[in-house]
Amino acid sequence: MNCAVIGGGSWGTAFAQILIDAGNDVVLWARDEAVVKQVNTEHRNDRFHPGRDLPESLRATADLPEAIRGADLVALAIPSQAMRPMLKEMKSSISNQAILVSLIKGVELETMERMSQVIQEVLECGQDQIAVATGPNLAGELIARQPAGGVVASLNILTAEIVQHAIATSYFRPYTSNDVIGCELAGAMKNVIALAVGMSAGLGMGDNTRATVITRGLAEMSRLGEAIGAQSATFAGLAGLGDLVATCSSPLSRNRSFGERLGQGMELIEAVAATKTTVEGVRAAPAILALARANHIEVPITEAVGDVLIGDLTTADAVRRLMGRSKKAES
């Protein structure tokens, strides 16, 4: 397939490599001219993957219409809050038949919409053209071609299968799903839970704490997901538990690392300055909290993280509040 990857960051670059390794022709769009030049001349992207060679056939451009013109598959790997304006910019150039794949694990802050909803709304395309790729996909490991699994979700199973075929390699094994809601919500919420895990690690807490936050975080994800129409099984799979464990456990996880900085005493502005890539959990927390409140669902970990981010709680106070909640049965 002729493919375009919109976003020359860590995940976009890794996904472009996956597409090439699966036998596709790929153009990578990046806003940064220095990234474009290095990809084209040195076959590297040292800003996000230092020391890693990229496929020589990967071509990069800073010209958005050029990147997507004639593409059969357009993968979107840009920050969630930049999605709507970027789609508006792309609309006149994108093919009516192109499959649109969201790689973004976030929720739009102002509307509480998932990325597939934003795509459909702005591009005025059918749901059968849209897919979501998610799972435990730490870009630093995939760029090294370490074995991993993932999930491709679409309301049209044929679309999911086309994307599945387009990204299946010897090291990347994608499964299909028709639960777009569950896959997108899990991808966004696990970033918020990873912030909480990072905060606890920054406070010096150990594996018992991490396991508790991961498990109760999974309960929050499942509870809210089922309330808005997701399938419960999704949260026990790669898009749910798999992605949650990877994001909460790995030092490669930007959300976990960001939370750890907060737990160590950094102010929010300092932690942002120390992070060179987008931390989706920071923007997702208030949107997910608003979504939960609109559906009358309790999400105490998400709420605590949100209060830390706006400065209403310290990380230590957040832990005390969570531990002091009323006692109840586990399920």
Residue 181 pLDDT: 98
Q: How far apart are CA 289 and CA 294, in angstroms?
A: 9
CA–CA separation, 236 vs 97, rounded Å? 33
CB atoms within 10 A of CB 146: 11
For domain 181-323, give the CATH number: 1.10.1040.10
Select from 138, 136, 224, 124 the least CA-distant residue to 181.
Answer: 224
> According to CATH, what is the number of the domain 2-178?
3.40.50.720
Residue with tokens 């999974």: 218
6, 73 contact by CB (below 8 A): no
Question: Which amino acid would we find at residue 21?
Answer: D
Active site residues: 190
pTM over 0.85: yes
Residue type, 125: C
Question: In sequence order, what are the residues at sequence separation of 6 or more whose Cβ sits closer than 8 angstroms to the Cβ of residue 169?
Answer: 18, 21, 22, 145
pLDDT beneath 70, residues of the chain? none
Burial class (CB in 10 A: 0-12, 13-18, 19+), 327: exposed
pLDDT for 274 equals 85
Instruction: Tell me the domain boundaries of the chain.
Output: 2-178, 181-323
Q: What is the pLDDT of residue 156?
A: 97
Q: What is the DSSP string of 255-314?
A: HHHHHHHHHTT--HHHHHHT--S--HHHHHHHHHHHHHHHTT---HHHHHHHHHHTTSS-
Residue labelled with tokens 């997910």: 288
Q: How far apart are CA 81 and CA 116, in angstroms?
A: 13
pLDDT at 278: 80
Which bin fits 180, alpha (ψ -120 to 50), beta or left (φ > 0)? alpha
**Total Cβ atoms within 10 A of residue 94:** 20
DSSP letter string, 150-172? EEEE-SSHHHHHHHHHHH--SSE
Q: Which of 181, 304, 276 is nearest to 231 (CA)?
A: 181
**pLDDT value of position 187:** 97
Residue 96 DSSP class: T
Q: What is the pLDDT of residue 275?
A: 81
- Rounded to the nearest 10 degrees, the angle between the axes of helix 300-309 and helix 315-323 is 160
Query: For the CA atoms of the chain, what is the radius of gyration?
Result: 19
DSSP run (H or E) holding 254? helix 254-263
What is d(CA 23, CA 165) in angstroms, rounded to the nearest whole number? Answer: 10
